[in-house]
Amino acid sequence: MRALNRIFTRVLNFTTRRRGDDRLREEIESHIAARTEENIRAGMTPEEARRHARLTFGGAETVREDYHAEKGLPFVENLLRDVRYALRVLRKSPAFTVVALLTLMLGIGANVVVFGVLNAVLLHPLEVSDPESLYQIRHKQWMSGRLLTTSYPAFEDFRRRNTTFSGMAGIYGYSHAALSWRNAVIKVHGDEVSGNYFDVLGVQPEIGRFFHAADEHGPDSAPYVVLSEALWQSAFHADRGVVGTTVELDKHPFTVVGVAPARFHGAERFVWPDYWMPMVNEEPVERFDYLHSRTSITVTVIGRLKAGVTPQWATENLNAIGAELAKEYPETDDGQPLRLIHPGLLGDNGDVIRGFLWSVTLLPLLVLAAACANLATLFAARAADRSRELALRVALGASRPRLVRQLLTEAVMVSLMGGAAGLGSAGLLLGVLNRSQPFVGELTVSLDARVYLAGLVLTLGSALLFGMAPAWQTWQHTPLQMMKSGTAEARPLGRFALRDLLLGAQIAICTLLVTASLVAVRGMVRALDVPLGFQPRGAMLADIDLSQEGQAGDAAVEKKKAMIEAVRSIPGVTAAGTVSRTPFTGGIHGIPIFRPGTTEFKINNSVLATYGYRMSPGYLEAAGTRLLGGRDVSWHDTAQTPYVAIVNQTFARKMWGETTAMGQRFILNGNLTEVVGVAQDGKYHDLEESPQPAVYLPLSQSEQSETVFVVRSRRAPSEMAAALERTLSGIEPNVPITVQNWQDAVEGELFPARAATVALGVMGLLAAMLAVTGIFGMAAYSVSRRKKELGIRVALGARQTQVMSAAVGRPMVLLGVGSMVGLLSGVFASRLLGQIVYRANPRDPVVVGGAVLTMALLGVAASAIPAWRALALDPSKLMREE
Amino acid sequence: MLVNQMKQKKDVHQGTLALMVLKTLEVLGPLHGYGVARRIEQISGDLLAVNQGTLYPVLLRLEQEGAVASEWGTSGNNRRARFYRLTRAGHKLLGAEKRDWEQTAAIVARFFEVKAQDLA
């Protein structure tokens, strides 16, 4: 209690800056005066009396200090004094301070941005209760289009028979619909989920309620929809009255029962559904029944483990059920082994994304390490220059810990300011990134407590890293030595110094980063060179949802035909056609192909799993996909004529090898289909895929509601967009139409490569800057340090080359050694780079040569000025100095 | 090492000094700093013959702990001086410290009285 009271008073004194100085002074005066009077009365002379009074009082200064120490918070006061002093010192050398701050700002900023992304993607749990016990079922191998999904009946079997999950929910994540509310129609996408979905995830509604398992009583029994917060805000203007009203999804009425909380975006991180509806009501929206078919493999399964059940145990349980199912339904269920993964990262891509992000995290850390090495050199050099001042302070009674503390305070000040600037700029950059949404899918990266903490740790960590060097140096020196030798270095110059080591390490790291960015640029160039198999330049896409028009069969085909004709008659259009989905936008993957004569259509009997596109005549021409032989499909290929298809080269080669594909037959969807044409290969899912088989089917022989118009024209995209929209909405009013430039749409696919290149390029640039400042600093420092010696050498007739090598020889040697180490580590880091960059190859001679050349140029550029200065030394002038 | 020893010695000194200050204020009532110093000097002799200034940090500390209160007043010879008086808490503190001190002193005294044969 007493101690507490004291601390409180001290803090109060400290904060209110109440100084008892006046009071103490007055008390001392009064004390001495009283004593003096008494002494005089005792018979001393006034002078003697005063002297005696002072003597008995003791050292007034010591008393004052003790008094002070009692009064306030000496530790904090000292710290404040250190901080003030550090600020003064830093202000005295603004160039140094600015360089140090910028270096740190860039280093820490880069780390914060990357850590922010890492945090948002990997470290942030999904917004569900107890995300740790939530698992997703994944098949062991990608086979015939199924990896994460299973059929609805199989899902029901798993759900009923398992003994290890407390709940298991199914998700159909590909639901698209036209949502109409009060005459407004917008296109939305969402999840169709089993009734227990929200209960399994443990999410509570923002307003209204969620649907539950008890709401389901067989097909079409639960016409309910839950809106996402984002959709509720944008389309319903956050109107609370919307709960209980009816909206239409693809012209079928659904009752809005509730709105999900803003933080909840389903079980995937990158795909945020607009709505959730019960799976039992899927048919009106999907227009096909997947609830009763074991061949429609569309349902993603997530489940929550019972308390105490290990994933291992649950996996065995599921595999046992899978084996049972394979026995019961040998036609459809293959009993493929399953494993459990945490949901959120698009299933199979999780490992890739994780590896990518962890490796990306390493790079800015390397930049920061290089920056710290750089700053350590700078600070150490400064401490050496200030050795006279430091020696003076030691002579005046400063203890060594006190000096080290002072130097560390300076380092911490610089790093705190740099860190704050870094955090600020990272925040701004992330804000821009969030607004422009360059990430694949949807992702918001925000600075939360964890990111701030990481920033602080990095800041203080780097302060320690670069602050230790000068502190250690100061600790090593004795004051006497410092006084005696003035600014000279204690060690002979020939020896291997701490600074050399730091610079070497820095150059090695920088070479590694420069190599990495060159590798990234090469990868990017390669990615741009990959033939896509279509020509996005000059083509427009119009996405139009004809599904809800309710027309089927011939009428729908006729309608599309009329629309294509109308589009083709727009002036400037050279080709037009429709396709179910353009490459890179998902579409159907893994359609099983059977040889003619197959009777059992089991997945295991299929010979190929292929991409499939349903298109109108003219699509290939509009897309710029070359037809290598045969004919295009035509409107005369109808349900009454034999089934035909165009296949790509890979399809033809895999099926029939060298024999000509034309006229060959295969079975697709149970129809014996004849190949009438061969088209060039292309990329269908991503740029990195190996050549994949693809098949194009005429739309007049298959029912297909998804339609994208591909229109090639000679006119400017903006003009064309307007004309297209006018024409199409003239034919089909009240249907949502999205028109975009194909080029822009494809850009998204190049985003990862581009982002990696930009990120690595920026890192490489930062590294190069650091290398330049490091080498420059070192060379300039050694020249200024050895001015006198060099002057004497010049006066004694040293040749220019000798002066040069004395001045900048050491940085050059370090550059060479450091670069070698960096290049070698680049080669060893190829696996790491491979995770970031498409087809990374650090052993590529162009990359190695480029890195060597870059480092050499940097070295020359950085040491040119110091070398020139060394040559321009005027010995006569120098000799007179000092 | 040396610093540590010095610090400890000072703490002991301050502790006894605080006790003396409290006792002086109890006996003599409100008193200014010089008065306290003079009184301690008279009684203890050399303890406060020099460095009387060390009294003031002790007074401040006691004041911060709430054991004494102070205010400006006029001394006997019409000089402005700060007068210290014992508070209620100070009385209590003095009582406690006194008991502590007596206990400690008694124990130490007994140790000094003990002879080798007593321990046998």
Would strands A671-679 and A665-668 be described as parallel, antiparallel, or unpaired?
Answer: antiparallel
The CA distances from residue A162 to A146, A284, A306, A318, B59, in Å, are 21, 31, 11, 7, 79
Q: Reply yes or no on whether the pLDDT at B1 is more than 50.
A: no
Specify the amino acid at residue A746.
V
| Interchain pair B57, A69: CB under 8 A | yes
Q: Chain A within 8 Å of B47 (Cβ-Cβ)?
A: no
User: What's CA A333's distance to the chain center, in Å?
Assistant: 39
Would strands A608-615 and A665-668 be described as parallel, antiparallel, or unpaired?
Answer: unpaired
| Interchain pair A34, B77: CB under 8 A | yes
Residue matched to tokens 């190069």: A768
Residue of B nearest to A36 (CA): B34
Contacts for A157 with CB less than 8 Å, ≥ 6 apart: A321, A325
Specify the amino acid at residue A148.
L
Q: Which two tokens stand for residue A394?
A: 């030691």
Give the pLDDT confidence of A720-749 residue by residue, as tens digits: 888 888 888 888 777 777 788 888 777 766
Give the pLDDT confidence of A591-648 residue by residue, as tens digits: 888 888 877 777 677 788 888 888 989 899 999 899 888 889 888 888 888 899 999 9
The one-character DSSP state at A579 is E
- Average of per-residue pLDDT across A650-674: 87
Give yes or no for a contact between A505 and A774, defined as CB atoms under 8 angstroms apart.
Answer: no
Task: Report pLDDT for B14.
Answer: 62
Give the pLDDT confidence of B58-105 residue by residue, as tens digits: 888 888 888 888 888 887 777 788 899 999 988 998 999 889 888 988
Query: To 10 degrees, what angle do helices A717-731 and A553-568 make?
Result: 140
| Interchain pair A31, B64: CB under 8 A | no
Q: What's the mean pLDDT when you consider all of chain A? A: 79
Choose among A830, A858, A757: nearest CA to A359.
A830
- Angstrom distance (rounded) from CA A445 to CA A641: 55
Give yes or no for a contact between A783 and A851, defined as CB atoms under 8 angstroms apart.
Answer: no
Task: Report pLDDT for A70.
Answer: 67
Q: Which two tokens stand for residue A582?
A: 């353009």
Task: Report pLDDT for A494.
Answer: 43
Q: Reply yes or no on whether the pLDDT at A198 is more than 80.
A: yes
Among the partner residues B34, B51, B81, nearest to A58 by beta-carbon distance:
B51
Higher pLDDT, A443 or A336: A336
Among the partner residues B50, B56, B64, nearest to A27 by beta-carbon distance:
B56
| Interchain pair B52, A20: CB under 8 A | no
Q: Would you call A379 helix, strand, or coil by DSSP?
A: helix
Choose among A822, A111, A815: nearest CA to A518.
A822
Q: How many residues does chain A have?
A: 882
Give yes or no for a contact between A9 and A19, defined as CB atoms under 8 angstroms apart.
Answer: no
Give yes or no for a contact between A767 and A510, defined as CB atoms under 8 angstroms apart.
Answer: yes
The CA distances from residue A127 to A99, A197, A512, A536, in Å, are 42, 14, 39, 38
Among A108-112, A433-437, A784-788, B74-78, name the one with the lowest average pLDDT: A433-437
Beta bridge partners of B82: B72
Q: Which two tokens stand for residue A241?
A: 């009255």
Task: Report pLDDT for A750.
Answer: 65
Q: Reply yes or no on whether the pLDDT at A661 is more than 80.
A: yes
Task: Report pLDDT for A488.
Answer: 45
- Angstrom distance (rounded) from CA A266 to CA A18: 58
Give the pLDDT confidence of A522-553 residue by residue, as tens digits: 777 776 677 888 888 888 888 877 665 555 66
Q: Chain A within 8 Å of B29 (Cβ-Cβ)?
A: no
Give yes or no for a contact between B69 and B87, defined as CB atoms under 8 angstroms apart.
Answer: yes
Beta bridge partners of A591: A610
Burial A18-57 (b: 16+ CB within 10 A, else e): eebeebbeebbebbbbbbbebbeeeebeeeebbebbbebb
The CA distances from residue A629 to A35, A291, A364, A675, A678, in Å, are 121, 41, 51, 11, 5
Q: Reply yes or no on whether the pLDDT at A353 is more than 50.
A: yes
Q: Chain A within 8 Å of B106 (Cβ-Cβ)?
A: no
Beta bridge partners of B72: B82
Residue of B nearest to A23 (CA): B82
- Angstrom distance (rounded) from CA A31 to CA A54: 9
Give yes or no for a contact between A306 and A167, defined as CB atoms under 8 angstroms apart.
Answer: no
Q: Which two tokens stand for residue A409?
A: 């305070």
- Angstrom distance (rounded) from CA A678 to CA A701: 18
The CA distances from residue A244 to A197, A281, A550, in Å, are 20, 18, 27
- Average of per-residue pLDDT across A258-263: 86
| Interchain pair B75, A37: CB under 8 A | no
The share of chain A scoring above pLDDT 90, in percent, equals 3
| Interchain pair A62, B60: CB under 8 A | no
| Interchain pair A62, B50: CB under 8 A | no
- Please report residues of B whose CB lies closer than 8 A to that of A67: 56-57, 60
Among A117-131, A168-182, A245-259, A750-764, name the one with the lowest average pLDDT: A750-764
Give yes or no for a contact between A136 and A267, defined as CB atoms under 8 angstroms apart.
Answer: yes
Cα of B109 to nearest chain A Cα, Å = 30
Task: Report pLDDT for B13.
Answer: 64
Q: Would you call A580 helix, strand, or coil by DSSP?
A: coil
- Angstrom distance (rounded) from CA A713 to CA A692: 29
The CA distances from residue A181 to A209, A253, A256, A712, in Å, are 20, 10, 11, 35
- Average of per-residue pLDDT across A840-849: 74
Task: Report pLDDT for A120.
Answer: 75
Among the partner residues B37, B52, B57, nearest to A66 by beta-carbon distance:
B57
Q: Reply yes or no on whether the pLDDT at A153 is more than 80.
A: yes
Choose among A113, A117, A121, A770: nearest CA to A425.
A113
| Interchain pair B64, A69: CB under 8 A | no
Q: Which two tokens stand for residue A283?
A: 């048919």
Give yes or no for a contact between A371 and A524, defined as CB atoms under 8 angstroms apart.
Answer: no
Residue of A nearest to B90 (CA): A2
User: 3-state secondary structure string, A713-728?
Assistant: ECCCHHHHHHHHHHHH
Give the pLDDT confidence of A448-502 residue by residue, as tens digits: 788 888 888 888 888 888 888 777 777 766 656 655 654 444 444 444 567 778 7
Residue of A nearest to B56 (CA): A67
Specify the amino acid at residue A214.
A
Q: Chain A within 8 Å of B81 (Cβ-Cβ)?
A: yes
Q: Chain A within 8 Å of B107 (Cβ-Cβ)?
A: no
Give the pLDDT confidence of A69-126 residue by residue, as tens digits: 666 666 777 788 888 888 888 888 787 788 788 888 888 888 888 888 777 777 677 7
| Interchain pair A2, B51: CB under 8 A | no
- In A250-296 the beta strands, taken as DSSP E runs, fall at 252-259, 275-278
Specify the amino acid at residue A143.
M
Q: Which two tokens stand for residue A441?
A: 């899918």
Q: Would you call A107 helix, strand, or coil by DSSP?
A: helix
- Please report residues of B whose CB lies closer than 8 A to that of A11: none
Q: Reply yes or no on whether the pLDDT at A192 is more than 80.
A: yes
Give yes or no for a contact between A283 and A140, defined as CB atoms under 8 angstroms apart.
Answer: no
The CA distances from residue B62 to B36, B57, B59, B74, B101, in Å, are 14, 9, 5, 22, 18
- Angstrom distance (rounded) from CA A522 to CA A844: 9
